[in-house]
Amino acid sequence: MILVIDVGNTNITCGVYRQKTLMTTFRMMSKMPRTSDEYGILIRDMLKENQVDIEKLKGAIIASVVPNVMHSLTGAIRKYLKMEPLIVGSGIKTGIKITSENPKEIGPDRIVDVVAAYEKYGGPVLVLDFGTATTYDLVTEDGKFGVGITAPGIKISAKALWEDTAKLPEIEIKKPDSILARETITSMQAGLVYGQIGQTEYIINQVKKETGLVNLKVVATGGLGRIIADATDTIDVYDSSLTLDGLRILYEKNRKA
């Protein structure tokens, strides 16, 4: 079994794989400062709570977009799980050729997502990740990744609404039955969700238009991705475990090294 860890701007998502099967997942907040001992005890206890035998873990891999977490987190893996984690970054084997002008600027989370999408669904494929930011990344049929679009995530937009306006409340993000809202909360939900649907459809269609890839496969992931995927025909697949699968795939590609 292996432990995969995705460190996002909001949450740290952990998964345990037995071969290609995702056995369990659990989450921690990434914005809360923790020592290596705190991370180690928390991860160890969560593994035990999920009936994972720590002695059977053979490896770990981490992808992180939060650099200041890494020292404590990697220290925790070494001390409490007795293994050296593989870090997604420069030099790791991906099977994808990054052709952007500045490959080192590509976030590890985006690399993990495109590797998973290309391995699972083939190319050309457009990968949408509805996280803190909403990202759109294109992989060609021959495995080249060099085109990406980055937009504010739904939660960022929502936070701006209720933090930067005096009278708008904090709300649950969900799709209302109608865009024709008659009160404040549903009007905010309509603007956020239907606005994201409109943005998503426009960007997908524009990518297809400019590339000529009319049969482009579109795969979505991320916490709020299902809300959007269920509301538009422009997304072909919603894959909730895409990022964790990508970490597993990268671990397997780099295991011998």
- Following DSSP, what letter does each residue of 53-108 receive, concatenated? -GGG--EEEEEES-HHHHHHHHHHHHHHH-S--EE-STT---S-EE-SS-GGGS-H
Q: List active site positions.
A: 109
Distance of CA 18 to the CA centre of its chain: 21
Torsion of the alpha carbons at 69, 26, 221 and 237, rounded to the nearest 10:
160
Could you tell me which of 225, 212, 203 has the C-alpha nearest to residue 137?
A: 203
Distance CA 238, CA 129 (A): 10
- Following DSSP, what letter does each residue of 225-240 receive, concatenated? HHHHHTT-TT--EE-T
Q: Residues in the chain, how many?
A: 257
HEC assignment per residue over 137-204: EEECCCCEEEEEEEEECHHHHHHHHHHHCCCCCCCCCCCCCCCCCCCHHHHHHHHHHHHHHHHHHHHH
